[in-house]
Amino acid sequence: NHPLIGETVKGIHRIHGTAQDRKAPLLTADLMAMKFPATPAGIRDRAILLLGFAGGFRRSELAALLVEDLAFTREGVVVTLRRSKTDQAGAGRQVAIPAGQAVEAVAAWIKIAVKGPLFRGIKHGVLGESLHADSIGQIVKRAVEAAGLNPDLYAGHSLRAGLCTQAFANGAGEIAIMRQTGHKSVTTLRRYVRDAALFRNNVGGMVGL
């Protein structure tokens, strides 16, 4: 809070900039272009990407899920998050995933996983322990590379960022997005949607050129 320190920090920002190295969001078209082999690992990876995207989940939230945390209904599936980054007290939160490809992918994987940790390692066709959050990031990178995208631009967080970006571009309001992702701050959410916001109601497209 000292004025001299504050001015020094401002000077550093002016010289070096403050732009963050943000990972690219995965959008619906990117996911639809991906092909997964009909192997246990391929079925698992497809379920991870589609569920992570549809729910706007963090890597840690996906890694912590149990099969028992998913309740299938006629409308889709309700995912219970027992604990998350913004819910350290473990109050829990439910996220609805409407019927569609994400629900179908998870249902196909549960036929293999059956019970216990939802997303698990696979070695020689045998299910192992629950995946670490970092492993989910590596799965995302492999999938985007196989789809012809640059894996250096993407990470596990690209799923959560992708839902925010795509939903906003498709007309969803900030409150609706926050209800799905569990964001507590509109300011934080806007860091994800600002790229989509560049072209939404852009006055440059309203002047007849």
What ranges make up the beta strands (E) of 37-173?
A: 70-72, 76-81, 93-98, 120-123, 126-130
Active site residues: 58, 85, 157, 160, 183, 192
3 state SS of 129: strand
Burial annotation 128-151 (CB, 10 A radius, 16+ → b, else e): eebbeeebbbebbbebbeebebee
Angle at 25 between CA 19 and CA 26, to 5 degrees: 160
Please give the structure tokens belonging to residue 103.
């629900």
Residue 87's identity, in one-letter code, is D
